[in-house]
A and B are shown apart, each in its own frame.
Chain A
Amino acid sequence: MFFRENGQFKSTYRADMQLLPIVQDRYFMLGLIAVALVAVPFVATDYLFLSIINPFLILTLAAIGLNLLVGYCGQISIGHAAFMAWGAYAAYNLVQRVPMLNFLVVLVLAGLIAALVGMFFGIPSLRIKGLYLAVATLAAQFFTDWIFARVKWFTNYAHSGSVSTAPVTLFGWTLDTPRDKYLFLLGVLIVFTLIAKNLTRGHLGRAWMATRDMDVAAEVIGIRPVYAKLTAFGVSSFYCGVAGALWGFLQLGSWEPLAFDLNLSFSLLFMIIIGGMGSILGSYLGAAFIVVLPIALNQVPRKMGMPLSTAMASNVEFMIFGSLIVLFLVLEPHGLARLWAIGKEKLRLWPFPH
């Protein structure tokens, strides 16, 4: 940025290891959180919350989850919406059947159930990788779609097959306005981001990355591949499970299994490819991009006086996503997050690059 870290010396290991070693970065981050907590709730309209900000927060959480698996551990999944579905339906059933549970507990339990399912479908990853794993996760996707559409117990014998939820109440705080939901989601996302950031810095994250970079070498230096892969599947599905529960309860309100279909899985994958694989920041950028692009495609041509038809807008969206994926893979495989880092580095040296 426009600042230098001159004169900031680290004299303890603690200072060396901290999350944001540069003091300006810390202030920037605190400022950002303050803006998100204080300014955004006053400025943003309900429409903005409902159609952009809240989906962005929830999908970011899911994208972080998928990124832990694909970006950090190198195991591809094109069925991660399935684990969101498991989280959402687990939360629904917990709320229906054990009404005295606090919603936070429900969230954690839903995440744990999704994690179990994720680890189960992660078992093939111990024998196969890459392309084969893609099919295994597709199996998870289609099987999950089916099970929630057909097994009546999961939907509590709802007639139409879709389930609906009451507004969430937390310690007497009812989350019924978009603003309340936003504040709650923001809190959850901050906590989970911190956890993810630290996980990837710790031994678990290193084990994942070693497995991703070269599995045989990782095994040689004493990382158990079974452990690394299954934990990656578990943690990743946990994140997606929590995100799915939030998506169901705080975004959709009532939903049917189609809400978590293959298209959502693809969207999640696109978020991390465009945002940046192996980067928490990338999950944020990618989610923002994927949430905003369809709305921009709808609004911008209309403002310019030549509205696209719905079908055409979705086709153009497909084309833009498709070409962006290829472009990013060819030109900048680490996505928007890498572009951001490059820009930051350039600015740090600016205006005297030598």
Chain B
Amino acid sequence: MSIPRYAPVAILGLLLAAGLVAPLATGETAPGFWVEVLIGGLMTGVLYSLVALGFVLIFKASGVFNFAQGAMVLFAALAVARLAERMPVWAAVLATVAIMVVLAFIVERIVLRPLVNQEGVVLLMATLGITFFLNGFGQAVWGSDIYEINLGIPREPMMVLGKVFDGGVLVNRDDIAAALAAVLLVGALALFFRHTATGRALRAVADDHQAAQSIGIPLNRIWVIVWSVAGIVAIVGGVIWGGKLGVQFSISQVALKALPVVILGGFESVPGAIVGGLIIGVGEKMAEVFLAPPLVKAFDLAGGGIENWFAYVLALLFLLVRPEGLFGERRIDRV
């Protein structure tokens, strides 16, 4: 008798769910506070999802594991922040879109085209090079201080659900705007993929490069398009992130968390990126708030901070039980 394939995933999922409700079950946590942490986690998750979305798009269309997505987010955010000092925000965003498209052209011409048909690891290292170049270039051009993006959303948090819990739940308005933007973006992408000729071409390339090429889809142009789309996703992520936390170098580091997200959700899956991002976001916030204090007490640690590695270790566990991710395509790939 063999263990069903979904069993380890189910066990892991049950454990996560148990961890999620455990703080409530012990009765020491006010439900309102729990909901606040949950919402905070969901919001962080939305940001991770937005970065992960860029990864997934590029991976689908070109098989490139784009390490530079985080750097693109930082670059886009810096560009918007600095351009917005001289023009209205919407104009700055449009200008940044143009910049990201140019960037996509350059990346395709200089990096992707010469490296076509290389192994995944080589491409990964090439995008690592792009990461460093973009980080240096972005800060050289736009400056390396902390900048603000002001979207004109009031800062003070709102009180909601005051009737359900005592004291209500505090929610930031920009968080809600971020979530709405993410939903709109995913919807727009879905429409784009489903109902435009370019979108269909993109899906064809994602399914099978050679077949797509043989029916006359120009691969090089598709790559430019998909890197541009990823660039636009990076702008959205960067603007939301920058509006929330300020535009600074650490964005590029935090965006690394999109890697565990895509592992969890599956490399080729847009819904996977969203769900994975939410799971990671909620998981690490919950772990930091509710799991870290007992750990600190039990092992006499010098402080919490487990959200720095929680996502990665969760992804590592997931890799062991289900390497293709929640929604990824299963590949028979013996190692």
Interface residues of A (CB under 8 A from B): 74, 76, 78, 124-132, 134-136, 138-139, 142-143, 145-146, 149-152, 161, 215-216, 225, 262, 266, 269, 273, 311-312, 314-326, 329-330, 333
Contact status B315-A269, CB under 8 Å: no
Contact status A326-B133, CB under 8 Å: yes
Task: Choose among A142, A317, A322, A325 the residue with the greatest number of B CB atoms under 10 Å from its CB.
Answer: A322
Cα distance A270–B20 when bound, in Å?
Answer: 40
Which of B89-97, B208-216, B240-248, B305-313 lines the interface with chain A?
B305-313
Q: Report 5 cross-chain contacts, Cβ distance below 8 Å, ordered by A residue.
A: A135-B319, A136-B316, A262-B253, A325-B129, A329-B122
Cα distance A325–B305 when bound, in Å?
Answer: 33
The answer, among A138, A142, A323, for a CB contact under 8 Å with B129, is A323
Contact status A139-B316, CB under 8 Å: yes
Cα distance A152–B300 when bound, in Å?
Answer: 8
Contact status A315-B308, CB under 8 Å: no
Contacts of A146 in B (CB 8 A): 305-306, 308-309
Contacts of A262 in B (CB 8 A): 253
Distance (whole angstroms) from the CB of B256 to the closest CB of chain A? 7
Contact status A322-B134, CB under 8 Å: yes
Check B301 for interface membership: any CB of A closer than 8 A: yes
Contact status A127-B319, CB under 8 Å: yes
Task: Choose among A126, A131, A149 the residue with the greatest number of B CB atoms under 10 Å from its CB.
Answer: A131
Which of B44-52, B111-119, B228-236 lines the interface with chain A?
B111-119
Cα distance A322–B309 when bound, in Å?
Answer: 26
Given contacts A325-B128, A330-B114, 7 further A-B contacts (CB under 8 A): A127-B319, A129-B335, A135-B316, A152-B300, A318-B133, A323-B133, A326-B129
Contact status B144-A135, CB under 8 Å: no
Cα distance A329–B312 when bound, in Å?
Answer: 28
Distance (whole angstroms) from the CB of A143 to the closest CB of chain B? 4
Contacts of A316 in B (CB 8 A): 136, 140
A-contacting residues, B96-143, CB 8 Å:
110-111, 114-115, 118-122, 124-126, 128-137, 139-140
The answer, among B124, B129, B253, B305, for a CB contact under 8 Å with A76, is B124
- Taken residue by residue from 315 to 335, chain B's Cβ proximity to chain A (1 for < 8 Å, 0 otherwise) reads as 110011001000000000011
Contacts of A132 in B (CB 8 A): 263, 319, 323
Contact status B132-A139, CB under 8 Å: no
Check B4 for interface membership: any CB of A closer than 8 A: no
Cα distance A139–B264 when bound, in Å?
Answer: 14
Contacts of B323 in A (CB 8 A): 127-128, 132
- Taking A319-B140, A330-B111 as contacts, is the C-beta distance between A130 and B132 under 8 angstroms? no
> Can you name the residue of chain B whose Cβ is closest to the Cβ of A328?
B129
Contacts of A129 in B (CB 8 A): 335
The answer, among B110, B136, B302, B306, for a CB contact under 8 Å with A326, is B110
Check B278 for interface membership: any CB of A closer than 8 A: no
Distance (whole angstroms) from the CB of A84 to the closest CB of chain B? 17
Contacts of B256 in A (CB 8 A): 138
The answer, among B132, B302, B315, for a CB contact under 8 Å with A152, is B302
Distance (whole angstroms) from the CB of A67 to the closest CB of chain B? 14
Distance (whole angstroms) from the CB of B324 to the closest CB of chain A? 10
Contacts of A161 in B (CB 8 A): 302
Contact status A139-B140, CB under 8 Å: no
> Can you name the residue of chain B whose Cβ is closest to the Cβ of A136?
B316
> Can you name the residue of chain B whose Cβ is closest to the Cβ of A333?
B122
Cα distance A3–B195 when bound, in Å?
Answer: 68
Distance (whole angstroms) from the CB of B71 to the closest CB of chain A? 9
Contacts of B132 in A (CB 8 A): 266, 318-319, 321-322, 325
Contact status B306-A322, CB under 8 Å: no
Contacts of A322 in B (CB 8 A): 129-137
The answer, among A130, A315, A326, for a CB contact under 8 Å with B119, is A130
Cα distance A273–B123 when bound, in Å?
Answer: 12
Contact status A330-B115, CB under 8 Å: yes
Contact status B126-A326, CB under 8 Å: yes
- Taking A124-B320, A126-B335, A152-B301 as contacts, is the C-beta distance between A269 and B309 under 8 angstroms? no
The answer, among B126, B253, B302, for a CB contact under 8 Å with A329, is B126
Contact status A315-B144, CB under 8 Å: yes
Which 10 A/B pairs are nearest by Cβ-Cβ distance? Answer: A318-B136, A322-B133, A325-B129, A322-B132, A139-B312, A319-B136, A142-B309, A315-B140, A326-B129, A131-B65
> Can you name the residue of chain B whose Cβ is closest to the Cβ of A161?
B302
The answer, among A131, A142, A145, A317, for a CB contact under 8 Å with B124, is A131
Check B205 for interface membership: any CB of A closer than 8 A: no
Cα distance A312–B309 when bound, in Å?
Answer: 31
Contact status A138-B259, CB under 8 Å: yes
Check B152 for interface membership: any CB of A closer than 8 A: no
Contact status A124-B302, CB under 8 Å: no
Cα distance A215–B121 when bound, in Å?
Answer: 15
Task: Choose among B140, B315, B316 the residue with the greatest number of A CB atoms under 10 Å from its CB.
Answer: B316
Distance (whole angstroms) from the CB of B216 to the closest CB of chain A? 28
> Can you name the residue of chain A whose Cβ is closest to the Cβ of B313?
A139
Check B6 for interface membership: any CB of A closer than 8 A: no
Contacts of B316 in A (CB 8 A): 124, 135-136, 139
Distance (whole angstroms) from the CB of A166 to the closest CB of chain B? 24
Contacts of B130 in A (CB 8 A): 322, 326
Task: Choose among B122, B129, B308, B323 the residue with the greatest number of A CB atoms under 10 Å from its CB.
Answer: B129
- Taking A142-B308, A318-B133, A322-B132 as contacts, is the C-beta distance between A149 and B319 under 8 angstroms? no
